[in-house]
Structure 1
Amino acid sequence: MNNDKKSIPPQLAQKLLQWFIKDELAEEVLGDLDEKYYYSIKNKSTIRAKLNYWYQVLHYLRPFAIKNYWSNSNFNNMHLHNIKIGFRSLNKNKGYSFLNILGLTLGMAVALFIGLWVHDELSFNKSFNNYETIAKVMVEHHNEGQDIGVGSVMPPGLGTHLRENFPSQFEQVVIARSRPEEVILSNNGDNFTETGLFLQKDGPELFSVNMLSGSRAGLTDINSILISQKLAQKLFDDEDPIGKTLKYNGSRELAVTGVYEDFPSNSVLKGFDFLAPFELYIDGWSDVTVWDNYFTEIFVLLPDKANLAGTNELIKDLLQPHVSGPGERLLFLEPMKEWHLFSEFENGQRVLSQRLKFVWIMGLVGVFVLALACINFINLSTARSEKRALEIGVRKSVGSRKDQLIQQFLVESLIIAFLSFCITVILSIALLPAFNDLAGKNISLPFSEPLFWLISLGTTLLTGIIAGAYPAFYLSSISPIKSLKGAYRVGSRASLPRKILVIFQFTISITLICGTLVIYNQIQFVKSRPVGYGKNNLITLQKRTSELYGKYDALQAEFEKSGAVESIGEASYPLTNTLGNNDGFDWEGKSPSFNPSFNTVKVNYDYGNTVGWEIIEGRDFSREFKGDVRKSVIITETAKELMGFDEAVGKQLKFNNDYYSDPEITIVGVVKDMIKGNPFEKPKPAIMFLTEQSLQWMFLRINPTMGTPEAITRIENVIKTVAPNTPFDYSFVDEEYDQKFRSEERVGSLITMFSVLAIVISCLGLFGLATFVAEKRTKEIGIRKTLGASTSSLWGLLSKDFVSPVLIASVLSIPLAYSLLDAWLAKFEYAINISWWYFIITGAVALLVAIVTVSYQALKAALINPVNSLKSE
């Protein structure tokens, strides 16, 4: 029996052959294969015979031998016929086809770009292998009489405590600097200012850093550094960086122990071009056991399926024993998946973040813009029903069923949709770099991902069906008797749905235009806000090497000689951020439970004069008052208001922090609020302490009578003279301040772009409808002209039907735009009021654009010779 089975040709191969080979070839080919099979068994072996049989079967998988399934299927023949008719219809009506394809292409392009943008936002941080189990330690600040504040800045001692005492709750605990740091890295005399992160040695493993060379364990030595692929190329070209050394801030040498792949732009480590040991950052001035200095963030790796609520309860009170003063500090863990879109809190409660709101808004904009394009298709198709009435009547009279006509019109819609998609893909390849630049992203088209094609083609199919469904059912319902008699006419009721859709189009377009106007004015309003200091002609230098410390007088003298600098001052922090915050202040009349935080900054005598702060009460620090050092402070007007003083000068404060001052200090001056943090928010109360020590940040007021390039050159020469080994690195304060508006400006730019496209798509639909109306009323226009109608009256006659929907849309857009924009402005503490003239302007712009769009066809029709008009029918 086994021998009989061996002698039978492979049945699976036979069935495969019979399935695909043409019927006229099947018998002959099977006979030949059987003959060769039995010959091979007799003269060779069974295995070789079967392998050869399979080879021959697969060899017949060629066009000449394969059945023509398409031609043998009535179903396929019908669809092939519909496709041919569809292309003929597009070719016959080139103008309408062009408008439909252009409108859908623009709508699909907007939807595609927004879809990519939304996907980029939703996939933030998902490139990390431990995305599901990484968390960050957060703290709630509970102070009586104040809203609950939430933050992530911790003392390093907490991280050490978690690592040593909670090994079963945390697989890894990593302490990192709470913010990225800029340092100067040098190689062969070339200096580069780079941004990176200082973190403990387990950090690269925690974040699953993708190493290109070296290993994640490269931060075990304090004098080591990991660099990004981009930085490696910049520093070493094509050389292997491993083992080579870099100069760190002009002095210390660090060994390159690894090169990692650049972090994705949608990750928390975006733009970090180096990772360095946390011990290098704190070397000489702190350690990992201190509890009284808040300057780190603590990241943990949780076990799989960890009980987050239980762990939060376990660690909740760990910080409280190390807190001085009133109030509670309660800890909790925030998973990585919540860092980007779900990390906004109000009074201790997680709320819908502004970022997530914007993601929703962008998604809705994409849907609406694509809907506008679909509306164009619907309107143009139904408006042209009279043109196609005779065709429908003939087809029905020869036996076409309603469902067949519906299929035909849906196929035409799908052809337009898929042609538009093909053009959209080509367009997106060309425009994606510009979109990335506008949106501040680094998005690529994921052509290699099946999910991208599945979603894209599925959306295209759905778009084609949605756009074509109503016209298909509408056109297929036309009476064949009326159409063949030429009695079919579109009544006023038939135009009502088109007007409603036009109103919807322009309501959305006007709302977007209004949004653009409000966003622009909000940004300009905040940009013109007084900042409390003179940010123009002011540069900042960070003392990155010890060479610049203790040389203030020498630098001041040399800068004065150079003529490039009007004044020089120093501070412990930059002017354009609110770093350095402390509570624990006490004053007369303060409630014991009230413990507000102040922005605390150490400055020298010349700081106020250099930055240009404005004294509104009392005096500035002065060398004439030697007792000012460590005993006197200057506060801002918001700090004065918070303290409840009518007159602040002369009032005593108590502050037990030896780094800043003596325990008892006196207020000697009040300055106008300085906008150092978020310019859209209220200013943070600040207290400035006088010191004669060298401070980290130097501020130079450039001589306005000298050209900036010349002044910078002279300043650099002074730095090289006084501190020859210090790299020259500076920034303009006004440019740093302008960076604070980039996020809102991107929002405005994106909304502006989509508003323009929305109004263009809407106008394409109006243009098509105006063209159709002008063609339809050609004879009427000719008669009216022969009876003496003027060109202007004919223009008004043809235009009024399109002006009224736009006017209605202008009115309907007011409550929609107001509610959306009022909600957007509510997030800003410093914001404009939405004035009535925003809606007047946007409505007028939309109306003007609509009139211009329609006027071309209206005037064209009105100027036609009436003789030709009457001959046309």
Structure 2
Amino acid sequence: MLATILKSVVRQIRRHPLYVGLNVFGLALGIGVFLTLALLVRYEYGFNAALPDVDRLVRVDTRWSLPGTAPGEYAGSTFHALSFLREDFPEIETAARLENTGLSTVREGNFTAFVSGLTDPSFFRVFGLKLLHGAPDEALARPDGLVLSERAAIRLFGTTDVMGRTVPVNRDGVTVNHTVTGVLARKTTPDFLSDIEMLAPFASSDLTRSCFVAWGSDCGRLYLKLRRPGDIVSVNARMRDFVIRHAAGADSDANALGMHPEKVFGLSLAPLRGARFRDFHVLYADDGVDRTVINSIGLMGLLALALACANAINLATARAGLRAREVAIRKTLGASRKVLFVQFMGEAMLVAVIAGVLGLALCEILVPEVASLTGEALVVRYGLVGVLLPLIVVACGFASGVYPSMVLSGYRPAAVLAAARMPSGGRGAARLRDALVTGQFGIAVTIVICMLVINHQTDFMRTADPGYVRSGLLIGSAMPGNDLAAQRRMLDALRAVPGVVAAGFGELAPSPDNKTRSTYTYDGPSGPVHVHLLQDIVSTSYFEVYRPRLLAGRWFDTARGLDDMPARDETRTRTAGAVLNASAVSRFGFASPAEALGKVIGTGGITARIIGVIDDVRFESPRQAIYPEIIFFDTLSKRPFVDPIPAVRFQGVVESDMARRLNRAWAGVLPDVASDFSAVDARMAAYYSGDERRGRIFTLGAVAALLIACMGLYGLAAFAAARRVHEIGIRKTLGATGRQIVTLLLGDFLRPVVVACLLACPIAWVVMRRWLAGFDERIALTPAHFLIAVAGAVAIAILTVLGQTFHLARAEPARALRAE
């Protein structure tokens, strides 16, 4: 039987190479796309899963429910909680704090930055990471210890044999010599620690910072390793009482959160298994991914495989009539239906095996491309592929072969041999072919619409008006410390750079790292209104640099002494001028920006009179609602800024040249601090790059789906061309013109495509409407997205069948009728 199957497949390849080629290539494309996307989905679902004891690892997150703002969960918590957690919860086996920070090395004035963090000596006991060199329990025990990744060791020394070497490490302008006490082994599995290149212990001076002593601040992540996985639920259930016991305090206690901290503050344990998807809904989490998008990518892989199988069924049933006489003769010679069914199923399985091999080769080609598109460390994992591929081959062979085998083996010899024409399979087979083409194009058009919407939304996020003028704007790194004289020198140096129009400071900038928030109260006619405001302090020229839109009132004026923020000894005796954004005006309940002018709001430390209102300025993710904000003014005459961020408006100079000039000016003031003046787009890219990369995956899926669908349509057209020659000959004999024949055939061929488009549009509308709801700023779901996809699908379908259509329409009636 195997020899018969092999000979039959070879014969089919020789007699009908186009059909067999389309069948094999279609299946191979579906298998290759499925394997590639399955590896991507497995990567995302396997994130953090390979960490030792991952079911016992949690991150302590913070929940804030502040007046005037929506409740939110934040990735990270105050380090001040660690000692209390250890005392109250014996379920904690060990714990470690981790602060992402910018450590760099300096050589001949050039800074080399590393993905780095400060942590506790217990770090390796929590995460169980393997060291290529060094002992995990001792690697971070000494104050000057330093752990490097293999990649960092090679960057610095050209080898991994670096134990005991000295590395001058620069942090915020201060260089300290560290000794290499460990080298991290290369990781082959994805987790949130995969990119770390340098780890150092906290310095003794760090322990006095606010996030180590105050409940309301944080500067990093707190990780716990519990004794049992079930402890996560029990500890979470007692967190509210924990906050009440330890975070409560008098309003005068700056380190506490008031007498009822549980009303605004909460802690929760976030398991690291599954954190990849959970973090998508957590503010300021770095690795969050939308589970719906990943599931959609997986579904797209399954649909590509289903389209390939449908394509194989379509081509096989279209070709079945060509083998009818072969079946009739073999049955006349004694072959049973069972034997023929097994043979045809064997042929389908053999074709699926060939397609599987080609699909694996295609997967090898696609995986590096997808890794490049997504930015993920995606590789072909043969353990997973070795399990999936045989299952896929068997499933595809069965799905694509069972119906054609039943049709072929069921032909009756007498009816076939007595007929002048080959059987077509009847109306049932015709309906099946139309349904398959409809399903193929319906899926393809749905994916194309989703791809168009995702790409449009991504472009919108990149180019949407952020509330300020981004062209001609460069923003630098935060200037460490609070040296008033150095800050004045920095502004003077930046303003002196040729091409600079204006330069100023702010404590916030696009993708901000410093966030000061306070609750302000307005005593309105209906009672006090409390709103939690994001606070910014800006210098002179800030308005000229960013150019925000003024909705009412005025901007700060140096000629008005009361606009300036009061000195610390004046905060209770003088009212400062303040500018609100539109969101803050709305949260306070003012009917319009103009109504807010002149109103006085205050917090425990300062009273402010509203002198102006600006439109909302977006410095953060388009998914997040813009935070209500208050802006104060400081002329650098009385007090320094806290880690100010310089920004420069320039003109007449190429952006890259201006960045180099500004970095040189920075180095003239702070030679020991790395600088990176960059455009707004570069600073905001992290907020939309993930959607942009996954949009490319949808583009890849849309191309594959359309290609497979066109193969199915081409097979249907080829079958129709073989079956309708006689019909077309009669029509032309009776006077039909070539144009009428083309119109008739195109209408028949495109009918399932049009039906597919009508089915795809409402499905895509529901899916994309739900996806867009996750953005605070989003595009409108207009008919253009659907019309473009439908028009494109119809145009591609026309091009696919045009050759067959013209061939039939141009056939000579006499020759067509004589052939019959």
Per the normalisation by structure 1, the TM-score is: 0.84
SS at match of 1:481: helix
Aligned-partner Cα distance in 1 for 2:317–2:504:
73
Q: Which has the larger Rg?
A: 1
Please report how far the alpha carbon of residue 572 of structure 1 lies from its aligned counterpart in structure 2 after TM superposition. Answer: 2.5
- SS for the counterpart of 2:277 is coil
Structure 1 residues 355-381: Cα deviation after superposition (integer angstroms, max 9, x where no partner): 121222122211111111111111111
Q: Deviation at 1:753?
A: 1.6
2:628 to 655, 672, 685: 685
1:539 and 1:730 in contact (8 A); partners too? yes
Cα deviation digits, residues 515-555 of structure 1 (max 9, x gap)? 12222333334444321122222222225666986323333
Out of 288, 291, 294, the position equivalent to 2:215 is: 291
Task: State the secondary structure of the residue aligned to 1:542.
Answer: coil
For residue 369 of structure 1, the aligned residue among 304, 312, 316 is 304
Matched, 1:464 2:397: yes
Aligned counterpart, 1:226: 147
Distance of 1:466 and 1:213 partners within structure 2: 53
Alignment partner of 1:135 out of 58, 74, 77: 58
Contact 2:65 2:72 in 1 (8 A): yes
* Alpha-carbon displacement from aligned partner over 1:408-427 (angstroms, at most 9, x marks no partner): 11111111111111111112
Q: 1:403 to 1:107 in 2, by over 3 A?
A: same
Residue 263 of structure 1: how far off its partner (Å) = 5.0
| Mapping for residues 400-439 of structure 1, pairs under 5 Å | 400-439=335-374
> What is the DSSP-based 3-state SS (H/G/I as helix, E as strand, rest coil) of the residue aligned with 1:467?
helix
Report the CA distance between 1:715 and its aligned residue: 2.3
Name the structure 1 match of 2:320: 385
CA displacement at 1:714 relative to structure 2? 2.7
- Contact 1:160–1:288 (Cα < 8 Å) also in 2: no
**1:799 Cα offset (Å):** 2.5
CA distance change for structure 1 residues 151 and 325 in 2, over 3 Å: closer, same or farther?
A: farther
Alpha-carbon separation, structure 1, partners of 2:156 and 2:67: 53
1:175 CA displacement: 2.1
Partner of 1:20: none
**Aligned partners of 1:305 and 1:270: how far apart in 2?**
23
How far did residue 865 of structure 1 move?
5.1
Matched residue, 1:247: 169
**CA-CA distance at 1:569 after TM superposition:** 1.3
- Aligned twin of 2:133: 213
Cα gap change, 1:714 to 1:136, in 2 (>3 Å): closer
- Match of 1:684, as an amino acid? Y
Render the CA deviation track for 1:40-82: whole Å, top value 9, x for unaligned: xxxxxxxxxxxxxxxxxxxxxxxxxxxxxxxxxxxxxx23432
Q: Which residue of structure 2 aligns with residue 705 of structure 1? A: 652
CA spacing shift, 1:396–1:697, aligned 2, 3 Å: farther
> Cα deviations across residues 270-307 of structure 1 (Å, max 9, x unaligned)?
43222222337826644734334233322100113443
1:587 aligns to 2:531 (yes or no):
no
Bigger Cα displacement from structure 2, 685-694 vs 552-561: 552-561
After TM superposition, the structure 1 stretch with the greater mean CA deviation from structure 2, 188-197 or 678-687, is 188-197
TM-score w.r.t. length of structure 2: 0.89
CA shift, 1:404, in A, is 1.4
* 1:184 counterpart letter in structure 2: S
Separation in structure 1 between the aligned mates of residue 487 and residue 516 of structure 2, nearest angstrom: 26
- 1:18: which partner in 2? none
1:311 aligns with 2:259: no
How many residue pairs match? The answer is: 781
Q: State the alpha-carbon separation in 2 of the partners of residues 287 and 652 from structure 1.
A: 31
Residue 614 of structure 1 corresponds to 549
Alpha-carbon distance in structure 1 between the residues aligned to 2:665 and 2:517: 36
Distance in 1 between the 2:689 and 2:525 partners? 39
Q: Give 1:94 deviation, angstroms.
A: 0.9
- 3-state secondary structure, aligned to 1:641: helix
- Written as runs of structure 1 = structure 2, the 5 A alignment for 1:455-534 is 455-486=388-419, 489-490=423-424, 491-534=426-469
Q: Deviations over 1:321-360 (max 9, x none)?
A: 242276243333221113122356699xxxxx97121222
Partner of 1:731: 678
Tell me whether 417-426 or 226-235 shows the greater mean CA deviation: 226-235
User: In structure 1, what is the Cα distance between the partners aligned to 2:661 and 2:463?
Assistant: 32
The one of 255, 266, 271 equivalent to 1:330 is: 266
Q: CA deviation at 1:702?
A: 4.4
Matched, 1:741 2:688: yes
Query: In structure 2, what is the equivalent of residue 28 of structure 1?
Result: none
Q: Return the alpha-carbon distance in structure 2 between the equivalents of residues 594 and 468 of structure 1.
A: 71
After superposing the two structures, state which structure 1 stretch, 585-594 or 457-466, moved more: 585-594
Which residue does 1:542 correspond to in 2?
Answer: 477
* DSSP 3-state at the match of 2:496: helix
1:651-670 matched pairs, under 5 angstroms: 651-656=599-604, 662-670=605-613
Q: Distance in 1 between matches of 2:69 and 2:170?
A: 43
> Is the Cα–Cα contact under 8 Å of residues 542 and 696 in structure 1 kept in the other structure?
no
| Partner of residue 795 from structure 2, selected from 843, 848, 851 | 848
Change in 2 beyond 3 A, CA 1:722/1:289: closer
**Structure 1 residue aligned with 2:276:** 340
Once residues 393 and 112 of structure 1 are traced to their aligned partners in structure 2, the CA distance between those partners, rounded to angstroms, is: 40
Distance 1:187 1:280, change over 3 A: farther
Q: Is the 8 A contact 1:791 1:862 kept in 2?
A: yes
Correspondence for 2:588: 643
CA gap of 1:345–1:681, structure 2 versus 1, over 3 A, is closer
Give 1:634's aligned residue. 579
- Over 3 Å counting, the alpha-carbon distance change for 1:265 and 1:826 in structure 2 is farther
Q: What one-letter code is carried by the residue in structure 1 that aligns with 2:584?
A: A
Aligned partners of 1:408 and 1:468: how far apart in 2? 10
Report the AA paired with residue 773 of structure 1. Answer: A
Where 2:317 maps in the other structure, the secondary structure is helix
Give 1:748 deviation, angstroms. Answer: 2.0
Task: Describe the SS at the equivalent of 1:682.
Answer: coil
Paired letter, 1:232:
A
CA displacement, residues 80-130 of structure 1 (integer Å, 9 cap, x when unaligned): 432332333233321100000111111111111110111011101012112
Q: 767-776 or 503-512, which moves further after superposition?
A: 767-776
1:275 aligns with 199
- Do 1:214 and 1:257's aligned partners in 2 also have CA atoms closer than 8 Å? yes
How far residue 197 of structure 1 moved from its aligned partner, in angstroms, is 2.3
Q: State the distance in 2 between where 1:721 and 1:843 align.
A: 59
Whole-angstrom distance in 2 between the partners of 1:636 and 1:159: 37
**Change in 2 beyond 3 A, CA 1:314/1:207:** same
Query: Residue type matched to 2:507 in 1?
Result: S
Question: Quick check: 227-236 or 786-795, which moved more?
Answer: 786-795
Give the Å deviation of 1:594: 6.7
More deviation, 568-577/547-556: 547-556
Q: Take 2:103 and 2:234, find their aligned partners in 1: how far apart are those partners?
A: 40
User: Aligned in 2, Cα 1:607/1:590: closer, same or farther, shift over 3 Å?
Assistant: farther
2:614 is aligned to: 671
Displacement of 1:614 in angstroms is: 2.6
Gaps of 5+ in 2: 249-255, 567-575
- Does residue 158 in structure 1 map to residue 77 in structure 2? no
- Letter aligned with residue 26 of structure 2: G
Distance 1:753 1:198, change over 3 A: same
Q: Which moved more, 1:716-725 or 1:276-285?
A: 276-285
Task: Give the aligned CA root-mean-square deviation in angstroms.
Answer: 2.8
Query: What is the match of residue 158 of structure 2?
Result: 237
Cα deviation code 1:132-170 (max 9, x no counterpart): 11012234445689754333432221112213443x210
Task: Output the CA distance in 2 between the equivalents of 1:287 and 1:513.
Answer: 48
Contact 2:721 2:804 in 1 (8 A): yes
Runs of 5+ consecutive residues of structure 1 not aligned to the other structure:
1-77, 348-352, 657-661
Listed as ranges, the matches of 1:94-133 within 5 Å are 94-133=17-56
Letter in 1 for 2:242: L
**Contact 2:494/2:666 (8 A) holds in 1:** no
Following superposition, the deviation at residue 612 of structure 1 comes to 1.9
- Is the 2:663–2:677 Cα contact (8 Å) retained in structure 1? no
